[in-house]
Amino acid sequence: MLDDLKAVAPSRLTGHMVLDMPAAPLPRGLVGTFGYSEQEIEKEALRLQYAIKQPMRWSIEVCRSLAPMTLEINRLKREKDVFLIAHSYQTPDITYGVADSVADSYALSKEARDAPQQTILFSSVRFMAETAKIVSPHKTVLHPSPDAGCSLSDGISANDVISLKKANPGVPVVCYINTSAAVKAECDVCVTSSNYLSICEKLEGDRLIFVPDRFMGSHLQKELSGKKDVLVFDGECEVHAEFTGKKIRKWKENMSENGIDLVVLSHPECDAEVLKESDFVGSSEVLKNEAIRLAAKGKKDLMLITECGTADRVLAETNDHLNLIGSCVMCRHMKRTQLEDILQALRDPTQEQIIDLDEDIIRRASKSLDEMFRLAE
């Protein structure tokens, strides 16, 4: 995918150059106006288009077709006092149209815990909504797309962790947040892409088990070499596994031949070869902030090695000119949620859309999340 240089699309609003992004999602069926006037819909469409700042992909016609839904979702949120959280990988009509907070998995789990509202709607994949329920069990947590999984989270079961513990008694088990509540319940501490290194460094002893991401695990093995043995599970993120060091090297060479000094920013779910080729490694939020910081300093030729939502966020949150080189990869699980699902879950959630976890699982899983908050703060 990264091998093909695609045509450059200049944006009318910002002057950004963006390569190869997926098309904006259209409503699944006829939406109707929900009683909003033409004037209200036009104003909302302009608000959306201005916030998203990609007027080619998110044309005024597309924004107009989505505007009645964002208006209605925002009205229902106020009426029902719902806090709507969206992960960075959700589409911009969600992140900039209806979300009260958008960030990476660490920040969002804290926001879910601390929000005063008693109902949280988590627009994202299942494990993130489950995490919100674990950290705030007394709240109602709505998850609009119950089938939205994650290759990391779905690739490991609680029994896998129990077997690892049996084979390695006494060795602390660290789980990436991309795991089910049942897996978290079997682990000693949870980590995210923004704190896995610092937390693992702080753990006592000279061995640890890391589940389920083999790429993040091998990054840990390298960083902790000589200090700790890291036993790694064999899972991977199907999105970040798409990127290879070879492809990035080729891009850097091509760009350099054209006098372009490419800065590569990667997510730690990528493999070691990719991270070796990268100038900066961080969580979705940290990558977004770094790209914006670089653009402000005039470093405009950037390559974001991660899911497409991060590029959407960078484009929306800077007015500085930048060229995003290469192509992102879309997470089919993250993109499962559309405005229609959010609207439906707000109006009349089905049983599957209300996160319901066993009390004992919540109690045990919350220990690994509490330990993360303690060690990260």
Q: Which residues bind ligand SF4 (CB under 6 A)?
A: 125, 150-152, 178, 237-239, 269, 307, 331, 333-334
- Alpha-carbon distance of 193 to 177, in angstroms, equals 8
Q: Which is nearer to ligand 13P, 58 or 196 (CB)?
A: 196
Strand partners, 305: 266
Q: Does 95 bind ligand 13P (CB under 6 A)?
A: no
- Residue 223, both tokens: 């960083």
Q: Where does residue 135 rank: exposed (0-12), middle (13-18), buried (19+ CB within 10 A)?
A: buried
- Alpha-carbon distance of 324 to 308, in angstroms, equals 11
Q: Does 142 bind ligand 13P (CB under 6 A)?
A: no
Q: Which is nearer to ligand SF4, 199 or 329 (CB)?
A: 329
Q: Considering CB distances under 5 to 8 angstroms, the limit depending on partner class, which of ligand 13P, ligand SF4, none binds residue 96?
A: none
375, amino acid identity: L
Least distance in angstroms from the C-beta of 107 to ligand 13P: 8
161-220 positions binding ligand 13P, by CB under 6 A = 178, 192-193
Q: Considering CB distances under 5 to 8 angstroms, the limit depending on partner class, which of ligand 13P, ligand SF4, none binds residue 133?
A: none
List the x/- string, 214-243, binding to ligand 13P by CB under 6 A: -----------------------x------
Q: Does 90 bind ligand 13P (CB under 6 A)?
A: no
Catalogue the E-assigned strands of the chain: 8-10, 17-19, 82-87, 101-103, 119-123, 140-142, 173-176, 189-191, 207-211, 229-232, 263-266, 280-281, 301-305, 323-324
Strand partners, 265: 280, 304
Least distance in angstroms from the C-beta of 173 to ligand 13P: 20
Least distance in angstroms from the C-beta of 179 to ligand 13P: 11
98-117 positions binding ligand 13P, by CB under 6 A = 104-106
Q: Where does residue 43 rank: exposed (0-12), middle (13-18), buried (19+ CB within 10 A)?
A: middle
Q: Which is nearer to ligand 13P, 11 or 289 (CB)?
A: 289
Least distance in angstroms from the C-beta of 215 to ligand SF4: 10
Q: Which is nearer to ligand SF4, 255 or 274 (CB)?
A: 274
Q: Count Cβ atoms below 10 Å from residue 281 Cβ, excluding itself.
A: 20
- 3-state SS class at 150: coil
**Nearest Cα to Cα of residue 66 among 35, 26, 21:** 26
Interaction site with ligand 13P (CB under 6 A): 88, 104-106, 178, 192-193, 237, 269, 283-284, 307
